[in-house]
Structure 1
Amino acid sequence: MPAGLRAMLARDPDEPHRAASSLELLFDLVFVVAVSQASGALHHIWEEQHFVEGLASYAMVFFAIFNAWMNFTWFGSAYDTDDWLYRLTVFVQMAGALVIAAGAQRAMLENDFGAIVAGYVIMRVAMATQWTRAAISDPEFRGTCVRYAVGIVIVQVLWVSWFVLDGPVWWFPVLALIDLSVSPIAERHKMTAYHHHHIAERYSLFTLIVLGESILAVANSIIGGLTDAHARTGLIVVAACSLATVASMWWIYFDRPQHHQTMTFGRSFFWGYLHYFIFAAAAAFSAGVEVAVADHLGESHLPHLAAGLTLTIPLAVFLLATWLVLDSVRRDAVQAIGTIVLTVALVGTAYLPNAPLGAAVIMIAAAALVSWRHATADRLATL
């Protein structure tokens, strides 16, 4: 074996005190740029009143961000050797993420997905080389690793073909489903030895990243309030309400440990894949905050209802998705009914004169509901 390299064998899934590495944290910071570009472009598209087109293009760009991040995260949990070749390959993946970030606005505003496809292919081909290396080193999981490597390469050929042939938009969800099927097909051969606590931590850190986009939008509203005396009061209210909403989103997501969600084959995929809606909705909320800021500065041309919906629909998706992904397995009828009622109420707050205030009140109520039901479940478990 070349000097400085380690055999890429599966790590111990019960390794004590396993935490995210500094390289993984750096990797996530690169994705901050991509998420920021996508949410910023969504704000511009919404301001131009292209709501359906905006959501469709945002969903497509965010898929590239999410799926590339997710595959690296699960692989790293099982095979992070932290040697020089592993690090260099991860840096190549970071370069691909930056290409995606650079092309996000062009894809969403001009429907040019060239950079998105290029960046995605860079990241995924680098990922295939990691799986190939694991297949060579680890005979126990060789079948799984080979399936990953071959599947990833085949799907990249399909993505490049879609772009080169200028395929119709409806090809995208079909190719996305094919792409997403690589992992379950490979894992059915033999599940990789990922670390449950490590995976939960990695998803939690990415949640903080997308919530950070909303914090940035809140900061922008405060800055606007300091420089515009006429809109100061309104912007401060938007900032306060948005901060309360972000705090509620954090509370709802982090109120319970999540490592047990990845203990079984089916549940781990359900939990891992459906986080797409949690992440995408949280990042889209920041675009809604930007719309609210622009409205108070007199820079928005959106009707009041439309502006409110850009804020409340992402929150409704986040609330429903977090319940579905994190809590529906407990079959708590009170929380289920309460979540549905609050989700509908969230959308309805767009009709209020002050949508950010109404949304903040509903989200605080949702956080209280989650906390109450978890405390009740814990109390019953001790009886």
Structure 2
Amino acid sequence: MTAQDRAVTVVPPSRRRHPGLRPMTPRDRSESHRVASPLELFFDLVFVVAVSLAAVELHHALVGGHALDGLVHYAVVFFAVWWAWVNFTWFASAFDTDDWLHRVLTFAQMAGVLVLAAGVHDVFADGDLTVVTAGYVVMRVAAVVQWSRAARGDVGLRRTATRYAVGIAVVQLAWVARLLVPDQGGLRTFVLLALAELAVPVWAERRGPTPWHPHHVAERYGLFTLIVLGESILASANAVIDALQDTEHLPALLLLAGSSLTLAAGAWWVYFSAEHHRRLTGVRQALVYGYGHYLVFAAAGAFSAGVEVLIDHESGHGDLSPVAAAATVTVPVAVFLLVVWWLVLRHELTPARSTTVLVLSLAAGAGALLPQAPLWAALAVVAAVVVVQGAAASPPRVQDPAGV
């Protein structure tokens, strides 16, 4: 029997060394009706703050004429936010004792995320990752303790959990050492350390896969998608508020509000039109799915910043050209749809429907070249919704489980 198929080990209270603590044994991967816990939902709340701050800073950078620097800093910040969430999510799917120490360590990671969020402005202002790194130290210490508990709790996964603990600790020490390098090593060292972060799960899982739950992981990714799309709903509301206060630009702002809401709703519809857990059939597929969602989440967050940019543009503020301003909305939407298509939809739809969704996703991004760009992009997304909804009643495509 593999580690993924083992049921949770029950240890009599007399064998527990510490009051109120339970051995951190792996959860049953075949557990039915597995859903996100209240602690996981509470944990997600801090990411609402972090994502919002990243979107606000991107908006300011784009409007201020610093598009390239803004996008680079946004990619850096969002990687930090996303990776913090990913580490907790996959661990909690495999190990979740919900004892008092697990809760305290989760709260410590939440504190680390808030420290990270406090450093977002410094990254956009001058590329300074000092505060962000400090937040990571808090989170990483808690994560290492969690993986160490998992190593003690199950003999079969001891080597895997130990690799996670060691890998996380070593890479975190490298992040701290980076602060001692002049200019913090620039973008090159960031990319190298980010790749090292991504390599830790690949290296650790080779010793034996952790028993993450496919349905649970898919649900958690769906919940984070809702968080980032929620920022675009707020941006749509801001367009309505500005329209009511600026009667001179009322028609344009109302059209933008309606179009952005349609884009957000269409993105939601397309994302949740397929059963994502079908793509989580093994470690390789899980890595593709999990890592690919960086672009899904980052694009959704950038979309909300783009709506704010267009509000400024329609109100006569900002120096961006009409095409550049429109692209801040249409391009993120296109990236969102294209990555969802690559990760999930192309495996679920017939070739004809899959190709149509691909073309419509590209058309949504190209809408920036047309007058009333958000409207044309919204129409393309609505057409994509019609295509995927039309396939809902059809049986799913037969796909080789080993395929990605």
Q: Please, what TM-score do these two structures have when normalized by structure 2? A: 0.91
Residues in 1 aligned to 2:229 and 2:362: alpha-carbon distance in whole angstroms: 22
Name the SS of the counterpart of 1:164 in structure 2. Answer: coil
2:286 matched residue in structure 1: 268
> Post-superposition shift, 1:121?
2.4
Deviation at 1:64, TM superposition (A): 0.6
Amino acid at match of 1:347: G
Instruction: Using the TM superposition, give the Cα deviation of residue 81 of structure 1 relative to its aligned residue in structure 2, in angstroms.
Output: 0.7
Give 2:238's match in structure 1, choosing from 197, 210, 220. 220
Q: Tell me if structure 2 keeps the 8 A contact 1:45–1:109.
A: no
1:11 aligns with 2:27: yes
Aligned to 2:177: 161
1:199 maps to what in 2? 217
Aligned to 1:305: 323
Structure 1 residue 380: Cα displacement: 9.1
Q: Which amino acid aligns with 1:327?
A: L
Give the gaps of 5 or more residues in structure 1. none
Decide which moves more: 340-349 or 130-139.
Answer: 340-349
Structure with higher helix content? 1
Is 1:344 the counterpart of 2:333? The answer is no
- C-alpha deviations, 1:295-329, integer Å up to 9, x for none? 12222221111101111111111111000111233
Could you tell me how far apart the structure 1 residues matched to 2:392 and 2:174 are?
A: 44
1:260, CA displacement in angstroms?
Answer: 2.0
How far apart, CA to CA, are the structure 2 residues paired with 1:199 and 1:380? 22
Given the alignment, which residue of 107, 116, 119 partners 1:103?
119
1:152 aligned partner, one-letter code: I
Equivalent position amino acid for 1:228 in 2: D
Q: Distance in 2 between matches of 1:189 and 1:245?
A: 43
Once residues 316 and 30 of structure 1 are traced to their aligned partners in structure 2, the CA distance between those partners, rounded to angstroms, is: 27
1:35 matched to 2:51? The reply is yes
Name the % identity: 48
Query: Partner of 2:185: helix, strand, or coil?
Result: coil
1:330 offset after TM fit, Å? 4.5
1:136-285 to structure 2, matched below 5 A, reads 136-165=152-181, 166-285=184-303
Whether the 8 Å contact between 2:348 and 2:397 is mirrored in structure 1 is no
CA deviations on 1:30-73 (whole Å, 9 max, x unpaired) are 10000000011111111122222211111111111111101100
The code of the aligned residue for 1:256 comes to A
Count of matched residue positions in the alignment of Structure 1 and Structure 2? 381
* Runs of 5+ consecutive residues of structure 2 not aligned to the other structure: 1-16, 400-404
Q: Deviations over 1:160-196 (max 9, x none)?
A: 1222212121111111111101001111111111111
The aligned residue for residue 402 of structure 2 is none
Residues of 2 paired with 1:332 and 1:57: CA distance?
A: 38
- Closer, same or farther in 2 for the Cα pair 1:141/1:379, shift >3 Å? closer
d(CA) in 1 for partners of 2:85, 2:239: 30
Q: Provide the secondary structure at the position in 1 that maps to 2:41.
A: helix
Distance 1:151 1:87 in 2: 23
Please say if residues 338 and 361 of structure 2, whose CA atoms lie closer than 8 Å, have aligned partners that are also in contact: yes
Question: 8 Å contact 1:121–1:156 — kept in the other structure?
Answer: yes
> Which one is further off, 108-117 or 73-82?
108-117
Normalising by structure 1, what TM-score? 0.96
